């Protein structure tokens, strides 16, 4: 996996630029509510788009379902941890933390937001535009959230919530495993 690379680059960047405030601040209620709004908007878009465009299952989702269905108890626990927590954190560090801070930073035309959304959607291994579009829209929403708040913690929160909601049936089925 390529996840450790962006974390190392971001850590070096933050250390060298003395920008540790980019990642975290004391939580602000308004910004948390904005994160929740991104989650709601994403699900509304998904519901509306599924009514107009038949969407096939993305290859990464098929692979994740196969892994969850054919894993040991430890494998299921690790996969759910990766889906709901580690994946969103690493993807936000890479797509918003790195891309939006290194390329077209605060572009008046939004190139930083668009680039991060393109890379985010391509990271999810999609085979056609109808499967790519919801991820691109989610990437745009996360990019706009980061642009507005200036903090990765809010994009991470929204991303973690989305993945947790999507993975909830597996979490419920395997909740006894965690106890």
Q: For 18-151, where are the alpha helices, taking DSSP H only? A: 29-52, 59-69, 73-81, 87-92, 100-102, 111-123, 129-149
> Tens of pLDDT along the chain (179 residues)?
455 665 666 666 565 555 544 556 788 899 999 999 999 999 998 888 878 776 666 666 777 777 777 777 777 778 888 888 988 998 998 899 888 887 777 788 888 999 999 999 988 866 677 778 888 999 999 999 999 998 999 999 999 999 999 888 877 766 655 54
pTM, rounded to two decimals: 0.80
Query: Residues for the chain: how many in total?
Result: 179
């Amino acid at each position: 996996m390529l996840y450790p690379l962006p974390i190392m680059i971001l850590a070096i960047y933050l250390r060298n630029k003395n920008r540790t405030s980019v990642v975290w601040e004391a939580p602000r209620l308004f910004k948390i509510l904005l994160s929740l709004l991104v989650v709601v908007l994403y699900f509304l878009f998904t519901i509306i788009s599924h009514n107009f465009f038949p969407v096939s299952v993305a290859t990464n989702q098929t692979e994740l379902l196969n892994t969850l269905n054919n894993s040991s108890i430890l494998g299921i626990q690790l996969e759910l941890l990766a889906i709901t927590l580690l994946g969103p954190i690493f993807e936000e560090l890479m797509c918003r933390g790195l891309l939006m801070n290194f390329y077209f930073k605060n572009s008046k035309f939004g190139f930083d937001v668009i680039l991060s959304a393109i890379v985010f959607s391509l990271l999810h291994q999609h085979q056609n535009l109808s499967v790519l579009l919801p991820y691109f829209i989610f990437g745009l929403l996360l990019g706009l959230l980061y642009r507005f708040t200036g903090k990765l913690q809010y994009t991470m929160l929204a991303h973690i919530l989305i993945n947790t909601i999507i993975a909830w049936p597996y979490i419920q089925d395997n909740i006894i495993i965690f106890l």
